[in-house]
Amino acid sequence: MMIPTFFGITLLTFAIGHLAPGDPLLIETDSPLPGSASQETIDRFRQAHGLDLPLYVQYGRWLSKVVRLDFGHSTQDHRPVTEKIAESLPKTLLLSTLALFFAYLVAVPIGVYSAVRKGWLERAVTVALFALYSMPSFWVAVMLLLAFSSGRALDWFPLQGLTSEGFAAMGLAAKLSDLAWHLVLPVFCLSYASLASVSRYMRTGMLEVIRQDYIRTARAKGLSERTVVFRHAFRNSIIPVVTLLGLMLPHLVGGSVIVERIFGIQGMGLLAFDAIFHRDYPMVMGVTTLVALFTMASVLLSDVLYAVVDPRIRVEVAS
Amino acid sequence: MSAAQKLRGGPLFRVWRQLRRRRLSLVALGVLAVMFLMALMAEQLASDKPVAVRVDGATHWFPNLTDPAALRNENVHRLRSRLRPELGEWMIEPLIPYGPFQTYAEQPTQPTSAPPWAPDGEHFLGTDELGRDVLARIVHGTRVSLTVGFVAVSIYVAIGVLLGALAGYYGGAVDALVSRVTEVMMTFPTLFFILAVLGLMRVQSMVPIMVVIGLTRWTDVCRLVRAEVLRLKRLEFVEAARALGASDARIILRHLLPNAMGPVMVAATFGVAGAILIESALSFLGFGVPPPTASWGELLTQAHRYVVHPGAWWLTLFPGLAIFLTVTAFNLAGEGLRDALDPRLKE
């Protein structure tokens, strides 16, 4: 199943790379060749870069390089694409892992609570989550900057970047706290939307499970409400929420473009944005392929997680 | 049965009756109605030309729409000062006497500081960096948001329904192909993909934005329709239709799709909210509708630029609220529609 998807992904990326109006040569020749390049020079250039070959051969060549993780050189600064990605990937990973962690940490209890208890607080929480879900992250981000970083209202958090000046000279504890201080706003912006959707899923799952007969049996046995909710209902309703993990990654990556741009964090999102802005084709194709593969892996991961938390599936796979 | 009775018993009426019972859905529909009116009547609400004017012995109706040559160099403020009521001259002004493109150079008052200016009695929601009225730009921006939302969703509903119906009905190789393509599309982060396509193609206009959103977001609808068709095609009424000699096309179009439309409409309503969010995000990142077109996201870009000085909170708060209200209204409407179509979900 993964192999056709892989081909689809690379094919689509390759197609994006050839969306340029006209000839890729025209972009390539922006700097290295003068406008009055002779036909012969152009032909030689074409031949050197394999641009005279039919498209499917070009795709094959590109694919064979991709398999070896060679995406060529960025046209912005002529550094290898993989090197630039390797530099910015940790930052984005840090951001999205923290965002996911934070989202689940808050959302799961909220979801359980709003399914089990009824009352004004439950209703208020539901409304608040619904509202959060509809707020564009760039709006929230700019509002937060205005409130906490612009120096106009409260000057609590930094405006840009992940680290302060003189970060390298700090001790480990100082480094960590500096990083955490810079991470508060971006992680919040990245996580609140998933927070809302995870808790809604958790609530629905919980409501479905709690209506079933075995829950009534557990209650009839005289088990405490706590045991019923956490030992019996919770375990079964967490399953769909766990599988959500993989499907949320594409959204996080999309969101990181916005969040990293607003907070000036040199991660994958900003890298992609700059590459698109400067029409840096090798870079765009490299990032796109990697992000898609990453997502594919996370979908696979969520399938595995599914099997871990739900013994019924393990039995099916085994038999 | 009279036409009115027929209507009362019809499925649309049943949905409406369910919907009417939910106060929040009604509020949402009200907000959406206001938004639509704003989009339709943007020029009547905010324009630098009057709605109607009698000046220099001629009466002009709707110069804000027609932009007649005689009034090319006029605006509401200039007309106000040269109007002579004693000669029977009059003017109907739009609610907001500023157009979305009217910069400070064309405005009556010349303040001392550089724009953006904070809200005051003249500009209720302040101005942007060129001194353009924020309220006027929000009103005109409604048009972009709603158009992109509806057209993009129409495109992907069409694609999703077509592919989903084919995959569900024929199964086999068709299904396998469609499912693979769906999987590939779902692994691509949508916003990122749209950004890459629009950015690399270097096209900045509304049509490509709508088309690209439409071409990337059809996967949910496709999976919904496929699942519905798979479920429905085994039911007896489909078998009956086939026994009567109905063609595949007739079975799909007349029997299967109408029954699968409920969830699709719900998904489409949520989808409009999503498309509006994407459009505003694109505009925010500078890949949206080309300037000087008014768009909500574009105002927020400026807000980011002026976050420190002068801390232009009005550029942040109001366009953001417009996006938030519209998106929430569509989401609430979608929620209401889902409950109305599927009463089982209600407790």
Q: Which phi and psi angles does B54 have, rounded to 5°?
A: -120, 115
Residue B24: inside a domain, yes or no? no
Domain that holds residue B66: 48-93
Residue A100: inside a domain, yes or no? yes
Q: Report yes or no: B262 and B330 within 8 Å, Cβ to Cβ.
A: no
**What pTM value is reported for the model?**
0.85
CA dist A77 and B176 (Å) reads 43
Which CATH number characterizes residue A214's domain?
1.10.3720.10
**In chain A, what residues touch B180 (CB-CB under 8 Å)?**
4-5, 8
* Predicted pLDDT at A319: 47
CB contact under 8 A, B307 and A150: yes
**A44 and A160 inside one domain:** no
**A175 and A278 inside one domain:** yes
What percentage of chain A has pLDDT greater than the value 90?
1
Q: Which residues of B touch A (CB under 8 A)?
A: 180-181, 183-184, 186-193, 195-197, 199-202, 273, 277, 280-281, 284-287, 297, 300, 303-304, 307-308, 311, 313, 316-317, 319-320, 323-324, 327-328, 331-332
B256, B184, B198, B185: which is closest to B227 by C-alpha? B256
Going edge to edge, which strands form the sheet with B90-92?
A: B58-61, B52-55, B90-92
**A137-195 residue pLDDT tens:** 889 998 888 888 776 777 777 877 777 777 777 888 888 888 888 888 899 988 888 88
For residue B193, the chain A residue with the least C-alpha distance is: A288
Any B CB within 8 A of A45 CB: no
Low-confidence ranges of chain B (pLDDT < 70): 1-11, 109-111, 203, 342-347
Any B CB within 8 A of A259 CB: no
Q: Which phi and psi angles does A315 have, rounded to 5°?
A: -60, -45
**B217 and B298 inside one domain:** yes
Query: A residues 183-242 near B, CB within 8 Å?
Result: none
**A34 and A101 inside one domain:** no
Q: What is the mean pLDDT of residues A213-233?
A: 84
Measured CA to CA in angstroms, residue A182 lies from A12, A101, A104, A285, B216 at distances of 36, 17, 21, 30, 34
**In chain B, what residues touch A136 (CB-CB under 8 Å)?**
277, 280-281, 284, 320, 323-324, 327
Paired sense of beta strands B58-61 and B52-55, if any:
antiparallel
**A29-49 residue pLDDT tens:** 444 445 556 677 777 766 766
**A162 and A259 inside one domain:** yes
**B19-34 residue pLDDT tens:** 777 778 888 899 999 9
CB contact under 8 A, B320 and A284: no
B129, B126, B127, B64: which is closest to B91 by C-alpha? B64
Q: Which phi and psi angles does A82 have, rounded to 5°?
A: -60, -40
Average pLDDT for chain A? 80
CB contact under 8 A, B192 and A254: yes
**A70-98 residue pLDDT tens:** 888 887 788 888 888 888 888 888 888 89
Residue A77: inside a domain, yes or no? no
**A232 and A134 inside one domain:** yes
**A150 and A281 inside one domain:** yes
Residue A18: inside a domain, yes or no? yes
Q: Distance from B99 to chain A by nearest Cα, in Å?
A: 25
Query: Any residues with CB less than 8 A from the CB of A79 and at least 6 apart, and which?
Result: A73
**B170 and B86 inside one domain:** no
**In chain B, what residues touch A277 (CB-CB under 8 Å)?**
199, 286
- For this complex, say whether ipTM is above 0.90: no
Residue A83: inside a domain, yes or no? no
Residue B187: inside a domain, yes or no? yes
Measured CA to CA in angstroms, residue A166 lies from A151, A171, A174, B103 at distances of 22, 11, 11, 44
**A96-107 residue pLDDT tens:** 889 989 999 998
* Predicted pLDDT at A35: 53
**B66 and B197 inside one domain:** no
DSSP label of B116: P
CB contact under 8 A, A130 and B186: no
**B213-267 residue pLDDT tens:** 998 889 989 999 998 898 888 888 888 988 898 888 888 888 888 888 888 988 9
**A314 and A249 inside one domain:** yes
Q: Of B59, B93, B127, at which residue does a domain stop? A: B93
- Cross-strand partners of B53: B60, B91
Q: Which two tokens stand for residue A243?
A: 């599988």
B306, B285, B297: which is closest to B141 by C-alpha? B297
CA dist A62 and A47 (Å) reads 15
Domain that holds residue A29: 2-66
Any B CB within 8 A of A136 CB: yes
